[in-house]
Structure 1
Amino acid sequence: MDKLFANLNAVIGIGLVLALALMGVFHADTITAAVVFRWLHVFFGIMWIGLLYYFNFVQIPTMPTVPAELKPGVSKYIAPNALFYFRWAAALTVLMGLILAYLNGYAKEALTFQSGFQLIGTGMWLGLVMAFNVWFIIWPNQKKALGIVEADDTTKAAAAKTAMIASRLNTLLSIPMLYAMASFQTLPR
């Protein structure tokens, strides 16, 4: 058991298979692709926003208090691994959400803010902006700040600040985005 639970990817894989099995057992007659993609969208979304909140509520505020000799433990080991799951969870959340909107027949209506779909469209566009920030602002700057790519100290400091601001912007945007995503499901159409 120790070997199994020491492998995070195996745990995630088994958890996903068990969830699919539950769907098959309890909803075999009503399971659709939309149900599966909604669940995957929520799963990856929780991973993405959970890591976003970890960075903003825990890691960023705590780092100034970490003794200098211990900071490499975070910057060389914890942060790069967390950023791996963070950026891929962002990509998969967006992909699953776009597939879900397509399967439910409202992708075009939502992305173009047509009547009745403005709220989900707003949530989708906020999610797209946030994913763009992850891949094209936060990640490239974190690679410099963490020393994954070569950069001098001045560049590292500037990159860390840029990544932090983009991350805080994503935290800000996540609040209305979550409202839009969750509320759309409960509104009459």
Structure 2
Amino acid sequence: MGLMDHLSELRARLVRCCIAVGLGFLVCWSVVDPIFNALVNPLLAVLPPGSHAQYTTLPEGFFTRMYIAFVAGVFVTSPVVFYQIWSFIAPGLYDEEKRHIIPVAILSALFFVAGGAFCYLVVFPYAFSFFVSFSTSEIVVMPKISDYLGFVLKLILAFGLIFEMPLFALFLSRMGLITATLMRSTRRYAVLGIFIVAAILTPPDVVSQLLMAGPMLLLYEVSILVAAAFGRKKPAPENVETGDAQQGEASVKDKTAEEA
């Protein structure tokens, strides 16, 4: 395939992803209120008496629910989205590996959802309790609901993508783009990059950064093991020399046959 063929395929797969997410948005919009309540509950559970979340503009509630329905639609249609992503990458794989595209797409969706669930069930209770603990009887926290949900949904998406690290390591190692040796040699830079990403995606407090950086460090080590187990193996030197010798013998035989 030429460059234009690849770009045409990329465009077609992006259109399919957009259609799938759009349909997921419509489905989630019909149940957006329960999703909204589920996302707000971790905050309401730690708010002190006298505090409450609030809207500050009239259209804020409507657009906030639209954003929630969109993100929920991404999670609902994640198997389709990941199938399109892996199908676009598949030409760089062996034929026997291409048969596993559908299972890998399903695993990708499960890892994506697992990352979001880890953020919701583990990170949010500790993070929100830490933030709310600074309120006093005189200074009461009253968060703006759109800011809160924007922060929450960003973290859920970030954790979902972070949990994809082992699967991306699997594909990149099978394509020969990365190796376990390379990942081990660049571990110190990866650790630095992980903490930088955690500092950017989380609020400026140590607790939230560690709650994101910890799983990322663990997943990086798991990715090294995955790359070591499933990465492309280089041909052994003995096999290369044997192959060269066999080719040399074959060429001599061919010359002898031509002279005869």
* TM superposition score normalised by structure 1: 0.34
* TM superposition score normalised by structure 2: 0.27
